Amino acid sequence: SSRAAIDRALSLQPDLPEALIVRADWERHVNADYAAAKQDLARVESLQPPTSQLRFIQTFVERDLGNWTQALRYAEDAFQLDPQNGAYIYGIAVAVHGQHGDFSGADRFLARAMAIQGRGLVSAAGLRVYFRVLWRGPKAALELLDGIPVVKDEYERRELYRAYCLIALGRVEEAKSALAPIERLLVEDVGEPGLLRWFRSDPAWALDCLRALGREDVARELAIRLRAVTAAELQRGNRSGMIQSLLVKSQIALGERAEALRTLEAWRRDNRTISNPFQRTRSNSLAALHYAALDKGDEALELLRELRTVGLHTDVSLRYERDFAAIRSDPRFQELMVAEETWARAQPDPIEP
């Protein structure tokens, strides 16, 4: 196993920094043993000057422990030590700045990742558009999208993002024009059971856009394929938050509300067994979306409020996400939405690196 290989390497060279860092990440990610992880990382720091790899893993340890100030400091060090490492920069942007609700910081790192990867709508650029919706709203996201050069392989994702922003702005006919050429691609992108891969588009946004534009027949076809793929993954033991969330989303779209609630409750039970507060609550925003869609407003609100206890902010739009419609008029939800938008507006405006 991977852990056995790590232990063998350290039995031969107990002070091998690279192996100590890998073991620390294993202790963090697999065992949630943060004391052991920090012990190994402190040992590495005593053996050599800090490296980007060391600071990168330290960033995630401190993030998981809720030490956001230290996590962000380590993230900045990792960037400064290796400013051309697109993977590190991307990871810091998404998993640290983005999940902390620091959309300005996330945008700065993602813009840097774009400069390394190229300026087309690859993953870094797509996430800049997504975060821009949360940070400055759909109009600003659309303006950013229009400034990103077209890349052939990213046409589908680009037009889906465009449709989402246009729907949020009430520009329905333009949204229909953006979505019409890619409807079949959105369905075909899901693939077949046993052939899960990274989606070229975002199936959750695709379902929302299709349904918002009255394309229920296509939405249903997409939901059926998505349900089959995600259910097969669960059968194979893949219980990731993404898989379980997409299964719930597809079940709701198909009107299978009782099945969706059972899937959602099983997912929440899995999460409650996680000892670390950050890891336990990081998927609260998505779960809250699903509870709201199932008319379980109290459960949705409880999950959204819990995020604040570990220094997180919502990573879905409270104002524009379709599934929050049922509770959007609730004064408690309104209070949360205003607080999140005030937090986002207070952040500095975008600055290209």
- Helices in the chain by DSSP H: which ranges? 2-12, 17-26, 34-47, 52-64, 68-81, 86-92, 103-117, 123-136, 138-146, 155-168, 172-179, 183-188, 203-212, 216-235, 241-253, 257-272, 277-281, 284-293, 297-307, 331-345
Give the pLDDT score at 353: 53
Q: Tell me what pLDDT residue 352 has.
A: 63
Pairwise CA distance, residues 192 & 228, whole Å = 8
Residue with tokens 């507006």: 345
Looking at residue 164, its pLDDT comes to 95
Residue 125 has a pLDDT of 80
Residue with tokens 């997180």: 312
| 225-260 pLDDT per residue, tens | 999 999 988 888 877 788 899 999 999 999 999 999
**Type of residue at 339:** A
DSSP symbols for 196-246? ----SS-HHHHHHHHHHTT-HHHHHHHHHHHHHHHHHHHHTT---HHHHHH
pLDDT tens track for 289-344:
999 999 999 999 999 999 888 878 888 899 999 999 999 999 999 999 999 999 99
Amino acid at 247: L
CA pair distance 193, 230, nearest whole angstrom: 8
- Weakly modelled stretches of the chain, pLDDT under 70: 1, 117-122, 152-153, 191-201, 352-353
Say what the pLDDT of residue 312 is.
Answer: 82
Q: Can you give the pLDDT at residue 223?
A: 96
pTM: 0.83
Q: Please give the structure tokens belonging to residue 220.
A: 């249903």
Q: Which of 248, 269, 270 is nearest to 260 (CA)?
A: 248
Residue 195 has what pLDDT?
47
Q: Find, among 42, 75, 251, 53, the residue nearest to 267 by Cα.
A: 251
Classified as helix, coil or strand, 192 is coil
Question: How far apart, in Å, are the Cα atoms of 170 and each of 165, 174, 278, 280?
Answer: 9, 9, 36, 36
